[in-house]
Structure 1
Amino acid sequence: MIILGFESSCDETGVAAVCTERGLLAHALHSQIAMHREYGGVVPELASRDHIRRVLPLTTEVLQKANLSFDDIGAVAYTAGPGLAGALLVGASVAQSFAWARGLPAIAIHHLEGHLLSPLLASPRPQFPFIALLVSGGHTQLMRVNAVGDYELLGETLDDAAGEAFDKTAKLLGLDYPGGPELSRLAQTGNSAGYDLPRPKLHSHDLDFSFSGLKTAVLTRLRQLEREPGGLTPQQRADLAAATEAAIVDVLAAKAIKALKQTGLSRLVVAGGVGANRRLREKLSQALAARHGQVFFPPLDLCTDNGAMIAFAGALRVKAGLVDLSDTGHAFTVKPRWDLQDVCRPGVHP
């Protein structure tokens, strides 16, 4: 069966076609970064309007890339949440309209489940069970993944997400939107040992995270440096970026390793936009190699929000028997706030 997937939860419009037997056939993505950069962040109304402009041309592009017609599609998947309500409604309404017109089932997908399962698109692909580190601008969580639809929350951020900490620190340093990638680029020219920044909850006994204190520490140090004769130098700015990145990565890596130790598992999956961070990839790869374990990352072009992960999650749910393909009713809603554990398969109680 071929699944057509739509992603429009925030500032990327993604469409993809995935076959339950052959995997990813084609995907297309439009990022709104250039549009939102002028405002220093995502403007929800502009995001929704841009999704409307992009979704149908991207759908045509995917079908052409995969050499498919509408008659080849067996089901439609779409991001139902979490995300921006208006943005979610664009993808959901297009998906449901297409499914209604063709008499197809429509599969509502949790955005984080898409990220969680996206490393299975890579080769080699991890085997269940594994620990998943979900790190993005809005979420930082550690999950035990036993199977498709069988997820157990082990720990999460108590305040800022890791990606949010990157973005907020980048803004303090005067970097362009999106801040995370800009901070990482600047950090490459800095000395991470130049400033001793806190690593909140690094040695706590739980698997939770906290990053708001790190942002405050950077702000305090920045103000001190700006008051010095000559003000903040370019090298000091780069050193602060490098020290911030090192602090975030150290905490993420330490908690991920602790989760592996506590569960006795040896496979770690990293997903979400922060999963593209070079320092995080290097540190986790070294740590898992030392433990004779394995770490898996999604392809770099699938770290950000994309339609491929949504179509793929739909395909995996179909294969796992978690979708009623006979249900072609098309009443729907979107869920800007949606707990991942709510999508666990019947009988699974995290």
Structure 2
Amino acid sequence: MGVRRTEVVLAGAVAASLAMIIVLAQTDTEAPLRPLSYLFAFGFGAVLLLRRGLPKTVVVLSVLGTFAYYSLELTPIGVALPVVAALYSAAEVGLTRFSVGAGAVVFVVSTAFRIRDDSLPLGRLLGAESISTLALIAAAITLGYAMATHRRFASQQEQLLRLQDERLREEADQRVQNERLQLSRDLHDTLGHKLSVISLHSNVGLEALDRRGPGTAPDSGDSAVAEALERVHDEAVGSLSDLRSMVRVLRTGDESTRTSLGVDGIETLLDRAREAGMSVESNISLAPGTLPSPVESVVFRVVQEGITNVLRHSSAAALSVTVGLDDEEVVVSVVDDGLGAAALEGGHGLLGMSERVRLLGGDLSTQARPGEGFELRATLPRRLPE
């Protein structure tokens, strides 16, 4: 069902349930029919139409409505029933503490008034009815919290799969780029050398023909040789120029084959962490293009690996990412407030990342603090050695 249809069905179910309770209560007593009771029942249902946009307001109105209902001495409908849907709705959107507080207020206030106004012994007042009221309130809040946790987990899993898919694509692109680099080196070292030799020797042949004495009679064969050598020389020079252009393209790649593996791609990773329900704080003080391309690529990968580990292992709610310069070093830090177990669970991902960082002359460190979170920290040289 659509969201709006769900609200209407829930509101109608609550209003109908309360109205049915009022009808059943009226059949057991000789008290006159109070239309105001049904108006309140309709109101308890109607206010739930606002539960998505104004969950706190819905809880407050439901609690105050319950107190007003019993202050007017209307037909008893139970203390918990008018508020359970509102408490569930607030917990469902992450307002668990607020729901617990509101539920505690309803239970304490209703119990206090029963003790004051009812002549039954205290043991009976605090007996089965009070326990059932408390259990119903707790069940509504627990169900709402469970739904919120499930949705957050599902969202994080979805983002994790996206990050893993992106990483696989980037690794595939990187393998292609490595193959292109290897091919460019092979072309340069083999064909480039041979074309240079051909150009050199054709030029030597032309110079040898030009050094023949002025008294030497021109020969049609010499002209053909000179023309052939000139053509060989021109073709060799042209082919060498084309080869160098091809090697340059293979080494750099054109715009259609490049991937966003730099500082400018970090914000996309942070947005995906936010979409997974995490509170994200970032401090990126480096502009794209400031660092050599290999360094920027490893910076991106460190942040990607850190966020992936947080989503997969830490059960964190908040994440902080820092990328900046410290003298001649680039410092990358990914810190979360989770279980502090990512260093133990990260496995081959962290080992591979450590090797990438080490190859550039940097260092990767992890610090797990049980109950306080986990930090992934990398230091890289700002400039690569010549």
TM-score range, shorter chain: under 0.3
Give the TM-score, by structure 1 length.
0.22
- Relative to its length, the structure with more strand (as a share) is 1
Of structures 1 and 2, the one scoring higher in RCO (CA 8 A, sep 6+) is: 1
Q: Of the two, which has the highest radius of gyration?
A: 2
- Relative to its length, the structure with more helix (as a share) is 2
